[in-house]
Structure 1
């Protein structure tokens, strides 16, 4: 994480909190944790520190607001409840996971003898069926990309890669030019946890990427930029957060609310399970290490299959 970001995260924190977070960031970087993971971990700890200093009703929170080694189970539970009230249970769960890592690191550093996270229950989150994006919706998004200009060719290549591969926002967003192999119609994806994989792409996606690469090659100086995606003008890379904003804009143009890359990831798992595809193969293709993920992502397909069986059986309709 660049120094500017860690400065911003620790701004206004007590000296001990700030020092520990800087040391933890250095440890995470040495462990080759992805930047997004490091940021989320550090943000969770920084938010706990600010809660203790500004919002905690506990009269004994002052010491913990100055020094993370003074944080107790009671402080964690109060912070978690506050997160649920002011954000959501899902956000509170993410903070819980980040704080587990922080206090585990403090244990490893012999700064504490027991983690305050011990016996703090993870917040329960509602199980929701994530709406998949249908082919008609994707066609409308592709129609919004239509054109012969640089941005149009780039946008179509981006959308087709997400739709065709089910890859994560960051995996497509962080592609390098050298990750593209049009001879084998495949891309080299850099996944979470430094787990790389090669993913095949279809002919339409390959053609869209090829057309973008030809347009990219015409931009003077582009061959010196390793990142695949370039901004509409100049040589600045278009990074994942920029793609996130771009997809929302394309979704709005197509009349689709809340368009984001993960909807195609859910759709990929949905279509795979509807077709009877093997779960182990799906895990390899989407870069999952736990079989909890295909169950979560495939829940909408399971519900649809159940509805199809229900209609076919006609229970209660034969009387």
Structure 2
């Protein structure tokens, strides 16, 4: 090493960390918003999963949120994950994670998170078996929660709904047809996908449902006539209808004539709920009512499930509770020789 006297006289170099104070002196900013972490390569598969599944907007948001939370918790690559890691994550959700209010997650929230992971890793193991040979969520069980009661509308509330339709303006015929379809148990996301060709004058054909199984939905006479009248009105107004034309169209100024969206359906139903003075009326209210009414009419539960498109017998169980209760009450009064009150 060369001994240079001039170099020996140089002052020592001092490293100063770049904090907010020193950054301001240098005319720089340490704002976290300007610093973005590198893209997580694992997220690419999540985006592909979200695109490849027929998810309603709310379900998509839930899946995206829960998968993002899991990837933030674990830095492991997909091929490294084992059931024990998912079990640890479930413990984290149950014992450590807190809501904004500082409360533990409810069992339903934990189940929603686990269900999102189960759905994603089932898709991964099927689509990319070279990455995940065995689904790591198979042994992870959901929390036991009481079966929530069906949120069915009463006959009086349904009368209020039909009366409210008479007070609508431009959207009256569209919304009347919409409610007749919803009252046959369709999900909002399924209604969005309906085309003119999906209706043959008697049945609705749903080729791509939540369960990925096609479904036929028979409409009662009044509903068939309402839907047919709505399509006839659109033809009379100059619209050229084809089999691929949307069955329900928007009346919003920015989307007039386009396919009625998921949010458009929710907005229309909420508006009707306000007129009818029914709190928290939403499209699924009619699905609950339809399923409950089928069972009260004596339709076999397996046939009712086919009509509603419920894949899980457990999920459909909530609708059978009321019909079983009413049947038990009627059986009691028959046994003692009295008539049940109607």
TM-score, scaled relative to structure 2: 0.70
Alpha-carbon separation, structure 1, partners of 2:267 and 2:75:
36
CA contact (8 A) 1:230 1:237 kept: yes
Distance 2:323 2:274 in 1: 26
Q: CA deviation at 1:148?
A: 7.8
- Paired with 1:231 and 1:48, the residues of 2 have a C-alpha distance of 37
Determine helix, strand or coil for the equivalent of 1:141: helix
Shift of 1:188: 1.1
Where structure 1 has 5 or more consecutive residues not aligned to the other structure, the ranges are: 1-11, 53-63, 315-319
The corresponding residue for 2:204 is 187
CA contact (8 A) 2:206 2:214 kept: yes
In angstroms, what is the RMSD of aligned CA positions? 3.4
1:4 corresponds in structure 2 to: none
Aligned residues: 286
Larger deviation, residues 294-303 vs 136-145: 294-303
Matched-pair contact (CA < 8 Å) for 1:76–1:117: no
Distance 1:202 1:113 in 2: 48
Structure 2 partner of 1:78 = 92
- Alignment gaps of 5+ in structure 2: 1-34, 337-342
| Among 117, 121, 126, the residue aligned to 2:146 | 126
Q: Distance in 2 between matches of 1:281 and 1:119?
A: 31
Matched residue, 1:216: 234
1:1-319 matches, within 5 Å, as: 15=38, 17=40, 19-26=41-48, 29=51, 32-36=52-56, 40-50=62-72, 52=73, 64=74, 72=85, 73-81=87-95, 82=97, 85=103, 88-104=106-122, 108=128, 117=137, 119-146=139-166, 149-163=169-183, 165-182=184-201, 185-190=202-207, 191-220=209-238, 223=241, 226-233=245-252, 234-310=256-332
Structure 1, 252-261 or 141-150: larger mean CA deviation: 141-150
How many Å separate the matches in 1 of 2:225 and 2:290?
A: 20
| CA spacing shift, 1:265–1:188, aligned 2, 3 Å | same
Change in Cα spacing, 1:171 to 1:15, as seen in structure 2 (3 Å) is: same
**Change in CA separation of 1:106 and 1:201 when aligned onto 2, cut-off 3 Å:** closer
**Higher normalized helix content (fraction of residues):** 1
Between 1:297-306 and 1:250-259, the stretch displaced more is: 297-306
1:148/1:220 CA distance change after superposition, 3 Å:
farther
